[in-house]
Structure 1
């Protein structure tokens, strides 16, 4: 299973309809993030949510690593697209529209990992306390 999950993935994994996925994202039932108008979730957070809501004893699995730990301090558009399972054009559009912080380095856009972490924190549907 990929690191990030889109609505269609959650439909399949959870066995629910698209309208339910969308509603649960908006209500914060499923842990997720919205950038622009696109919702996604990280597999590790969905797994923890499923385990926390399941009947029966909790699993004793080690916690999954942070998805951003695999990346350097500055990510290319291609790396952000791979992480979020979006097209490079969508990521570039988000940067140009101001939805995602980016830095233009000559002809290429890059995204600082720290800025991406902040964006994810701010776009999360469940605020962590």
Structure 2
């Protein structure tokens, strides 16, 4: 299973492509929690704080897969390979 720790330990952002490969275009907070190895409460906190992008319709949050991936890529601390 892919976890956030495994993705963040990679030396480049190609791991994000693998992490998100089979995910639906629209994800629930539960989907995000499972994908990243977090609790739903942690994901809801991140959504409320704006740490990760999301949309609230009524009482339901949803996350656009590609927006979450872009946010994670932008926040990566991985250093580019120098060849």
1:78 to partner: Cα distance: 0.3
**Stretches (4+) displaced over 2 A:** none
The alignment partner of 2:66 has SS state of helix
**Matching of residue 91 in structure 1 with residue 51 in structure 2:** no
CA offsets 1:31-84 (integer angstroms, 9 cap, x no match): xxxxxxxxx332893xxx6xxxxxxxxxxxxxxx71111111111000000000
Residues matched between the structures, number: 76
Asked which structure has the greater RCO (Cα within 8 Å, sep 6+), the reply is 2
What is the TM-score of this pair, normalised by structure 1? 0.52
Unpaired runs of 5+ residues, structure 2, are 12-16
What is the TM-score of this pair, normalised by structure 2? 0.78
Aligned pairs for 1:1-129 within 5 A: 2-5=1-4, 40-42=5-7, 45=10, 66-128=18-80
Residues 127 and 113 from structure 1, CA distance in 2 versus in 1: closer, same or farther, beyond 3 angstroms? farther
